[in-house]
Amino acid sequence: MKKILNCIAGFFFTAILILAGYAFSTKATFDLNKAYKFEGTVSEKQSNKYFKIKLDEISSNFYIYRASRDYSDLEYKIQKGEKIKVYVAHLGKKNTELIQVEKEGQIIFNSNEFYRKYIFVSIFCFIGGLITFFMTIKVLIKKHVR
């Protein structure tokens, strides 16, 4: 009975990892041409776990996440009072992740960095799902051999 529950849990965890991998891969393949574009003046900015900015004209906060938490280049390139253009997949009520940021026609935060992050996470989830699937199959085979 314990092995059956372990197998059910293994298949469940496999499904969760595969679905998460799929969800992250859809973010990784998002077409920048379909993104919402907003232009506005930076009214607030801060960086700790995330680099957050607020534009005067929009109620939502925008953020960029880096695992390294190194936002020094963004801190330098984006200043309060400057006009920027941001690209997002959707506009959240409170916080919205940025895909790309431009200032005066120059790309400040490139969409490739956004895509690479989600490609890495989706591959990690898919590989984890496959490993979990094969480990579960191995447990099932051992159960039937004995």
In the chain, domain spans: 2-145
Cα dihedral 117, 123, 128, 130 in deg (nearest 10)? 170
CATH number for the domain formed by residue range(s) 2-145: 2.40.50.140
Model confidence at 143: pLDDT above 70: no
Nearest to 40, CA basis, from 74, 83, 79, 78: 83
Model confidence at 4: pLDDT above 80: no
Q: What is the pTM of this model?
A: 0.76
- Give the chain's mean pLDDT: 87
Cα dihedral 103, 109, 115, 116 in deg (nearest 10)? 160
* Burial degree of 17 (CB within 10 A; 0-12, 13-18, 19+): buried
Taking the C-alpha atoms of residue 130 and residue 140, their distance in angstroms, rounded to an integer, is 15
Model confidence at 43: pLDDT above 90: yes
Q: How confident is the model at residue 144 (pLDDT cuts 50, 70, 90)?
A: low
Model confidence at 58: pLDDT above 90: no
Model confidence at 80: pLDDT above 60: yes
The residue behind tokens 């004995």 is: 146
Query: Within the chain, where are the H helices?
Result: 2-28, 72-77, 111-145
Share of the chain above pLDDT 70, in %: 96
Nearest to 108, CA basis, from 82, 133, 90: 82
What's the whole-number mean pLDDT along residues 17-34?
A: 83
Q: What pLDDT does 41 receive?
A: 94
